[in-house]
Amino acid sequence: SAEFGALLLVKDGEISSVVPKEMTEEQQESLKTKSLLLKRAMISKLPAATSKKVADDLHEYPYYIYETVIPVMDPSDDKMIGCLYLARYDEQFDASEKSELNAFANQLAISLLRMRLYRQMQQDRKETAQLINSVRESILYLNYEEESVVGNRAFIRMFDDLQFNYKGYEELADIEIDIEQLAERVDQREHFISYVEHVFDRNPPEEGLSISLDQGDCFLQVYAESIYRDGKLHGTMLVLRDVTAETEIDRMKSELVSTVSHELRTPLSSIYGFTELMLERDLKESRRELYLKTIHDEAKRLSFLVSDFLDLQKMEAGKQTFEWERVDLYELARDSISFYQETTDVHHIHLDADSAQDFTIEADLEGMRQLLGNLLSNAVKYSPDGGNVLVSLERLEGQVVMKVRDNGIGIPSSALPNLFGKFYRVDNSDRRKIGGTGLGLAICKEIAKAHDGHLHVESVYGEGSTFICELPTSKEVVHQ
């Protein structure tokens, strides 16, 4: 029977929103900011009522407006969560109406609290979903009580071929799981199926499981984490952690350790053997000299090996510091050729380049010297019968192409794919006599890469090889 009114929602002692009935915006604003009656009720937390005499020019007789405010209180902590404001003309709210309104306010409190709780729950649910979706590990949660399974975003991405329904960042996807189907891409199928079945049977294994997907394309560490509610097993989180990068690093590390130790063992055991002989036996002068020379050669090889290896490690880790400057490859080639020509009588090293052209590039001088030096020393080394070695320079649009050609022993085509790999040496009895570390070309490749260039080889076994290095004349990106 009220003429107009409003339900005012209160949060932390402030009016947070107004649900009006037959009230203009203006009236609402004035109620919120100016009503003493409302203020009184909010402070005292007790029902309050007034009557106001209204007289204006239109009415012959003055009339009354009766207003009442009933607080809506949270019964648990006695905090105000709302107010009921009602107003009507000419008739007061009597005692029975007031008590009815009080009872209604109590009911309203319960409904409002329930609504608030529901909203809070929704919010919490969204937050949990966001948290779990933001985790990079793939997660499946099996809720034993509700017999439901949900998965996070990473899980759905990992098994995108199974087309689970991803509903967005704020929700976890309901998943209908078919273990056999899930295990299809797993290389250790049986182990994985048995593991997941244990989880489904409410008996999650304590220890984890290492698996791989798609024939070793991706490595996963699987583990199950139980969730208890009131001491009772409520559900289990099945987590699949992508450990591909770590596994790859481990594999590379152990491969490196075994290659390095193998490469070190040969010269070391030779040095050890010969020194032992020299210590224990009384040797002829000529023999002593021969052994000493072997020891010296092996120690030299060892020292080259270590310094090449350290250079390469530095470059691969991006820790090599290059100093960029304008480098004239024509001048560098002339210098290097005369240096290597000094080391041999049976080779003729030539330069083929149009001296009128500009072969200047932006480069690290020492790096370039090392690159060309390695190629030249290989050209000489791998043409043991001597012959011609040709360095050529060619200027193309935005780049200089530098080639080193020899008429040496050449490279079998089967060796070409691995030629630039660390410690790779073509294994044939001929070449065993030619010393080396198998690191020179790997270093050349790294240097070319740091210059945004490209190094490759063309070779005919038994006829000779040409190493081709394409180098841009300037660098867009300045490397460290």
User: In the range 184-213, which residues lie near ligand ADP by CB under 6 A?
Assistant: none
Among 425, 446, 447, 471, binds ligand ADP (CB under 6 A): 425
Among 399, 440, 446, 453, binds ligand ADP (CB under 6 A): 440
Distance CA 288, CA 274 (A): 9
Output the CA angle 425-430-435, nearest 5 degrees. 50
Sign of the dihedral defined by the CA atoms of residues 380, 385, 386, 390, in that order:
negative
Among 406, 446, 455, 469, binds ligand ADP (CB under 6 A): 406
In angstroms, give the least distance from the CB of 378 to ligand ADP.
3
Could you say whether residue 390 binds ligand ADP (CB under 6 A)?
no
Q: Residue 49, SS3?
A: strand
Could you say whether residue 465 binds ligand ADP (CB under 6 A)?
yes
Which H or E element spans position 165? none
Give which of 193, 239, 242, 233 is closest to 213, Cα–Cα: 242
Query: What are residue 403's DSSP bridge partners?
Result: 392, 468
Instruction: Count the residues of the shown chain that bind ligand ADP, applying the rule CB under 6 A.
Output: 22
User: In the range 441-460, which residues lie near ligand ADP by CB under 6 A?
Assistant: 441-442
Residue identified by tokens 């020492």 is 366
In angstroms, give the least distance from the CB of 372 to ligand ADP.
13
Cβ-based nearer residue to ligand ADP, 108 or 457: 457
Could you say whether residue 152 binds ligand ADP (CB under 6 A)?
no
What is the DSSP track for 268-324?
A: HHHHHHHHHHHHHS---HHHHHHHHHHHHHHHHHHHHHHHHHHHHHHHHTT-PPP-E
Among 86, 220, 426, 450, binds ligand ADP (CB under 6 A): 426
In angstroms, give the least distance from the CB of 218 to ligand ADP.
32
Among 431, 449, 456, 479, binds ligand ADP (CB under 6 A): 431
Distance CA 395, CA 398 (A): 8
Stretch that binds ligand ADP, among 31-39, 73-81, 203-211, 436-444 (CB under 6 A): 436-444
Among 409, 448, 455, 469, binds ligand ADP (CB under 6 A): 409
Among 320, 378, 399, 473, binds ligand ADP (CB under 6 A): 378
Could you say whether residue 133 binds ligand ADP (CB under 6 A)?
no
Could you say whether residue 422 binds ligand ADP (CB under 6 A)?
no
Stretch that binds ligand ADP, among 64-72, 159-167, 246-254, 408-416 (CB under 6 A): 408-416
Distance CA 82, CA 11 (A): 8
Could you say whether residue 93 binds ligand ADP (CB under 6 A)?
no
Cβ-based nearer residue to ligand ADP, 80 or 376: 376
Cβ-based nearer residue to ligand ADP, 139 or 450: 450
Cβ-based nearer residue to ligand ADP, 82 or 440: 440
Which residue number has the CB closest to ligand ADP?
436
Could you say whether residue 408 binds ligand ADP (CB under 6 A)?
yes
Q: Are the CB atoms for 411 and 426 separated by under 8 Å?
A: yes
In angstroms, give the least distance from the CB of 257 to ligand ADP.
20
Give which of 335, 416, 419, 432 is closest to 376, Cα–Cα: 335
Among 438, 446, 448, 453, binds ligand ADP (CB under 6 A): 438
Distance CA 104, CA 107 (A): 5
DSSP state of 417: G
Distance CA 147, CA 170 (A): 21
For 334-391, give the secondary structure using H, E and C: HHHHHHHHCCCCCEEEEEECCCCCCCEEEEEHHHHHHHHHHHHHHHHHCCCCCEEEEE
Q: Are the CB atoms for 173 and 167 separated by under 8 Å?
A: yes
Question: Which residues form the interface with ligand ADP (CB under 6 A)?
Answer: 374, 378-379, 382, 406, 408-411, 419, 424-426, 431, 436-442, 465
